[in-house]
Amino acid sequence: MVLPELAMRLNCAEYKNWVKAGYCLLLLRGCLQGFVAREVLAFHRGLLAAAPSLGPRASCRGGSRCSPRARQFQPQCEVCAQWKREILNHHINRNGDVHWGNCRPGRWPVDAWEVAKAFMPRGLADKRGPEECDAAALLSLINSCDHFRVDRKKVTELIKCRNEIMHSSEMKVSSIWLRDFQMKIQNFLNEFKSIPEIAAVYSRIEQLLTSDWAVHIPEEDQRDGSEMGIYLSESQVSEIEMELLKEQLQEIYLQAVEQDVLPKETSARLEMVKEFLRNNEDLKNSLREEMKKLDSLHLQHQKRDSERTGQEMPEKRA
């Protein structure tokens, strides 16, 4: 029997649209992982062929002094300095934000993935390969590294859609928005027609977004949807919801970690997600660890805020 909470959620068309769009991003992630892994290796080989002095025989001489922090990286040895210059030469955003804190520069001569992480968003230091990354990270890599020959407008439009999905505090999108999203994700996929695993996902996403998506209820003869629909089990839908919510909570966590004071917008997003989970116990029970981590960080911010207020009060009296 379908959980009453799940049935109620899927009875809301805009929530179902949100889950469908999120599921498309999960399918996109899956089809990009192998392609990105191959291209990252090819990119690294190309860098070493053009500059053999950067290869495995080169080693960092700076030790811990060559450790980047967030967007800051001041290499203390010539090998790391040369690698930084080479990465920036291939970075579309070379004059903007580069998240050096993702990387272990000492591994650049021998580890292609450590180089790739310089082209990706914050918070990926512990990711060991594309199979551990979400769609946003892979899209950012494709967009930021000039090794990838692609229409970057199509990539940035899809990244914008992904952000709108993840920043939707109510977890809802309209049918008009979903149609626009379909056009943009298919425009992006068309850039990779020659890659079999990516081309295969094109038709699956098209069918998913144009059908009356439904949950298969084993006890009933009829499924809630047309004969051409995409049918998923209750556990599959719950797993998709969980993946999307985990990604959303992780993004809120990373935003909070970067700030001394929790921004009002981030705090509001967190409260909206909490409210959603309070009304959906089945999801709340599966996300306890993520919420515990966020609540702990929130308390740290509140403690720092109260300490600042306490320090300011005597000054005002003086």
Contact 109, 47 (CB under 8 A): no
% pLDDT > 70, the chain: 86
Residue whose pair of structure tokens reads 């089945």 in the numeric block: 282
pLDDT for the residue 261: 53
Average pLDDT estimate for 27-54: 96
291: pLDDT strictly greater than 70: yes
Residues in CB range of 112: below 8 A, 6 or more apart: 40, 41, 43, 44, 45
pLDDT higher than 90, residue 217 = no
Query: What's the rounded mean pLDDT across residues 280-291?
Result: 89
pTM: 0.86
Higher-confidence residue of 50 and 169: namely 50
Q: Tell which residue, 231, 237, 230, 236, has the closest CA to residue 211.
A: 230
Q: How confident is the model at residue 156 (pLDDT cuts 50, 70, 90)?
A: very high
Model confidence band, residue 247 (pLDDT cutoffs 50, 70, 90): very high
112 against 8, higher pLDDT: 112
Burial 14-43 (b: 16+ CB within 10 A, else e): ebbbbbbbbbbbebbbebbbebbbebbeeb
pLDDT of residue 95: 74
Is residue 2 within 8 A of residue 217, CB to CB? The reply is: yes
pLDDT at 227 > cutoff 50: no
Give the pLDDT mean for 247-261. Answer: 79
pLDDT digits over 179-196, tens only?
Answer: 999 999 999 999 999 999
Cα separations (Å) of 186 from 5, 35, 190, 201, 204? 32, 17, 6, 10, 11
Report the pLDDT value the prediction gives residue 94, as an integer from 0 to 100. Answer: 74
- What pLDDT is stored for residue 17 in this prediction? 94
- Per residue, the 3-state secondary structure of 14-31, as one string, reads HHHHHHHHHHHHHHHHHH
**CA distance linking residue 112 with residue 133, whole number of Å:** 15
Rounded distance between C-alpha atoms, residue 205 and residue 44, angstroms: 32
94-112 pLDDT per residue, tens: 777 899 999 999 999 999 9
pLDDT over 70 (residue 218)? no
- For residue 83, give both structure tokens: 């690698």
Q: What pLDDT band is residue 260 in, cutting at 50, 70 and 90?
A: low
Cβ atoms of 113 and 128 closer than 8 Å: yes
Confidence at residue 226, expressed as pLDDT on a 0 to 100 scale: 41
Q: Is the pLDDT of residue 223 over 50?
A: no
Number of other residues whose CB lies within 10 A of the CB of residue 114: 21
How far lies 245's CA from each of 105, 192, 248, 258, 283, in Å?
32, 29, 5, 20, 9
Average pLDDT score over the chain: 87
- How many CA atoms within 13 Å lie on the side-chain side of 195? 18
Placement of tokens 């809630």 in the chain? 224
Tell me what the mean pLDDT of segment 52-66 comes to.
90
CA 210, 214, 218, 223 dihedral sign is negative
> Which residue's entry shows tokens 């500059």?
51
Neighbours of 157 (CB within 10 A): 18
Residue in the structure block whose two tokens are 């272990």: 104
Closest CA to 256 of 246, 244, 268, 245: 268
Please tell me the predicted confidence (pLDDT) of residue 310. 57
Spatial distance between the Cα atoms of 59 and 54, rounded to a whole number of angstroms: 8
Q: Which of 172-181, 184-193, 198-207 has the lowest mean pLDDT?
A: 198-207
CB atoms within 10 A of CB 208: 19
At residue 228 the predicted structure's pLDDT band, cuts being 50, 70 and 90, is: very low
